[in-house]
Amino acid sequence: MRNTIYRQIVFCIDAYRTWIEVADANLYKEHVISRSGRTDHLVSRTLVLRTYKAHGAYDKGTAWTIPEHELDKALAAYRKQNGTFKSRIKKGANYITAEDAENIIRLATYGVIRLELVVRPVYIPSKPYYL
């Protein structure tokens, strides 16, 4: 996964979080994966998400680690599912939206984590406040 895409996903989770936060985006961890009937050890970047308040069945402090190769698979699957995302991602990583980040995380965790990100509107007053 390109670093710019990874960082934009992390930014969206941090900026629009409601109950879960990015605990660590720079962790490198060893993972065991199965390839062609054999197991391999792989060191990869790992995204760590943690609840900062209780939500549903999850207590405060519950943490999940998501290996980068799972995020890669989710990104590829989401690219196939969503044609508009496919065209936006070709333009650059900064076109990833909060909804895209939420769907990628949901696919990478096999539906376990639903971020419920909220994009708050920017308030622009119709006239200057000092008048």
* pLDDT score recorded for residue 42: 86
β-strand partners of 70: none
* Residue segments in the chain with a per-residue pLDDT below the cut of 50: none
* pLDDT score recorded for residue 130: 63
- Local structure of 126: helix, strand or coil: coil
* pLDDT score recorded for residue 122: 75
pLDDT digits (tens, 9 = 90+) for 67-76: 999 999 999 9
Kindly tell me the sign of the dihedral angle through the C-alpha atoms of 14, 17, 21, 25.
negative
- Local structure of 54: helix, strand or coil: coil
* pLDDT score recorded for residue 32: 87
* pLDDT score recorded for residue 34: 84
Determine the Cα–Cα distance for residues 30 and 119; give it in Å rounded to an integer: 34
This prediction's pTM: 0.87
* pLDDT score recorded for residue 128: 67
* pLDDT score recorded for residue 117: 95
Closest CA to 45 of 76, 20, 72: 72
* pLDDT score recorded for residue 111: 95
Helix ranges, the chain (H): 3-15, 68-81, 83-91, 98-108
